[in-house]
Structure 1
């Protein structure tokens, strides 16, 4: 990797680990701060809401600013937020620290993607997005488990201390490796939001929100699905999550290559295969095939992510950074909705029906992707 990508990759890994790792240290946080586990769980919800609301607003307000100083400032806030999390004397301060960190996350990701893609050849946008997203994959399969181990060994505050150090290293690398001079078009914040009137952009963002609900639903409830539906023991959960994460990493890199060659056709094909995988998981129970399908779900599900980001960039030339931030918010909305919908399905038809519901929502994503493809061919 050359250019600004290595520096941005380190930053993405650090920031995303800060988002994922809380699930692994949640009981320790609750115990140390003398709050209930559900109350500690609100820290995850607060982070998601901070990204949903803060991303588009902050990105619009900072439109047109020189990208390198802006990214350095956003990373400085992330460093401060994680450091305050490590030092928080109580639940209220930790809650505020997580919200502040979340507010800058989407804007950082959006600017990082635009910087990385701008430095890449025009026919390598999907591959570049995939390489940057590799930092998120590493956070899932390496950062979160490592952060949990640090928390178990040295306390949850040490986990946030390690994340602070990683983000600080990323900040130094950005200062060193990212060239100065790239600046967006200066506009007023309200003018930035005008780009959202573009129907193709709205459709691209809608695909991100709808097509990912099924995968996010299965991932959210994967542990009970494995133990109660597929009859795996509790000890199999961690290896299966690792298997899923490895699949996601492979799929993400392959998806970038596919997006550069046939973006919408490959997206349609991948979503169709994902529907088949969910139906296969519904049929299988406690077999080797279940493990294969969990790996395949991660690989195929994440293979569409680079293409979705590339499609948003291609349809939002006037305000690409805001569009990426809104797209990230759409993904967070999908995650929140997936958790809610999965809970309703479990309370109604039952746990195994999560796979069928995931297949049905993915079919909706296929319909939207087909509409985008037809509009592109007609245009």
Structure 2
């Protein structure tokens, strides 16, 4: 029956003009499968997107008027599958990449069905693991998760800018602390252990952006008005610096050597740009000052680097506390040079946090209530 079905689909699509009777049944099943992979309160935007693009009455109308673009629908479906797989476990990257490389429509939709079946199994396993872990937590304490939340409560209470101990505030601060984690010595909280690699990759990316922003802020501070009127210069300088920080977290990377090289190259580029646009030459004193300041940012406690780190932390926390929409969030305070990259990171971080909250918020709430009650009793 399955072979006969796909034969009918292929036969109808080969007609002139094409017929879409079986294809419509196919799209209906695909839409149903995609919607079944969504989680409540997490994928509202994706649900709306699926409903709008896979609007079956509209697609039927397009088919009847012979203006239906099946290839465009296929691209949307594969893209949505990639988005959902990325949010769960990224275990179907290989299969989805093969879908992108398939150009024949019938083999493509047949493969889409096969991968959707696997993704449904992934979703079922994920739901089962959450239920199983909830049962486990009911029987024994989750020591590392409790310590993570306990330390976060202490941090929030110590912050004079925070006047209310709201659960969301504590939760968001807790997740933000995962981007400052010492993975070499501190055990990761049990509830986010499956995503430890993702959080660590985001942490590395954030640290690269902080250092990149620090270097560029030093350039602007030292050269000042001389470069403010040169459109595109900061992008050029960023393009020069960024590739040299890609391996920042590898054992062979030397921050001192990399930043010394960066200082030399930026001085050459700045001298060229200033000379080209008729500005005063980049003096030897300013060259020395710039290279010295750039080299100094190798230290995490350098004042400019600490400032950029603090501002990125505030930005990410504000993003988590915002409405949750994935539209561009304003980037200020010297971070504009890395605004695009920082916003992209914030979107991915927010998705991962929202996804984790769906599964574990009840657990966090129970632990948090116990921590606050114990604190009140002590006070």
Shorter-chain TM-score bucket reads under 0.3
Larger helix proportion, structure 1 or 2? 1
TM-score, normalising length: structure 2: 0.26
Asked which structure has the greater RCO (Cα within 8 Å, sep 6+), the reply is: 1
Higher Rg = 2
TM-score, normalising length: structure 1: 0.26
